[in-house]
Structure 1
Amino acid sequence: METWNPCIECGICCTHFRISFYWAEADDAPGGFVPAGMTERLTPYLRCMKGSNSMPRRCAALSGTVGEAVSCTIYENRPTPCREFPVYFDDGTPNPKCDELRATIGLPPLPFSPLPRAA
């Protein structure tokens, strides 16, 4: 059974946040996985996804039209902040920040989810 993923119709978080993470997550470090060419250096210890450090923001890995149909071109290799942003909390309650951002592009709030959802 396929799991519904609200992120594939939204993508607003990829245009709102600076996506910063520890430098060693990039694939030019041993064990790293985020494509280094899609990152920029912030400090000796931090990088961010290109496109997310300046206004208007749009992560370089985001493909598609925000609010309609989007995807992450490096989904399997996305950095920790992207993996850890909770669309839903453990009790099935939607993240209020997610609903707030969705509203800015005319998308409805997320429904309560009694079952685990994809993120």
Structure 2
Amino acid sequence: MSHACQSCGACCASFRVSFYWGETDAHEGGTVPSELTLPVTPHHVAMRGTDVKPVHCIALEGTVGCSVSCSIYHARSSTCREFEEGTPECAKARAIHGLPPLETATVASDSR
């Protein structure tokens, strides 16, 4: 997780985080704690708190835009692992919380 993400968390408080149920610990090899999810289709679950407004993932700790962390960071879903800072989706999430988009130079230096 980059420094920019540790002081942001907007993505975790803006979008539904859904993924294949096999990524939960209810399936052999799954890592996401199933008690932190809820079913959304027969084959997909979502992180609790991301299915309602205002969105706030149950695993998100801290204050969006100040200092945040993920309580299951090493066990997080592919949806979270694949979300990239500095993308248009990142900028949209940050705008929802009144935060400016990340500057390209900041993203490049923080990602190293």
Identify the structure with bigger relative contact order (alpha carbons < 8 Å, sequence gap 6+): 2
Say yes or no: TM over 0.5: yes
Output the TM-score relative to the length of structure 1.
Answer: 0.82
Alignment of 1:95 with 2:93, yes or no, is no
Give the aligned residue type for 1:98.
C
Taking a change above 3 Å as real, the CA distance of residues 106 and 56 of structure 1, as seen in their structure-2 partners, is closer
Q: Partners in 2 of 1:81 and 1:96 — Cα distance? A: 16
Share of identical aligned residues, percent?
45
Q: What is the root-mean-square deviation of aligned Cα atoms in Å?
A: 1.9
Equivalent residue letter for 1:39: T
Unaligned runs of 5+ in 1: 88-93
Structure 2 unmatched ranges of 5 or more: none
1:50 aligned to 48, 51, 71, which one? Answer: 48
Bigger-Rg structure (1/2): 1
- Distance in 1 separating the partners of 2:64 and 2:12: 9
TM-score, scaled relative to structure 2: 0.87
- The alpha-carbon distance between structure 1 residues 46 and 104, as it changes in their structure 2 partners (threshold 3 A), is closer
- Give the CA deviation at 1:4: 4.4
Q: Which has the higher helix share?
A: 2
Q: 1:12 to 1:64 in 2, by over 3 A?
A: same
CA distance in 2, matches of 1:76, 1:99: 24
CA gap of 1:4–1:61, structure 2 versus 1, over 3 A, is closer
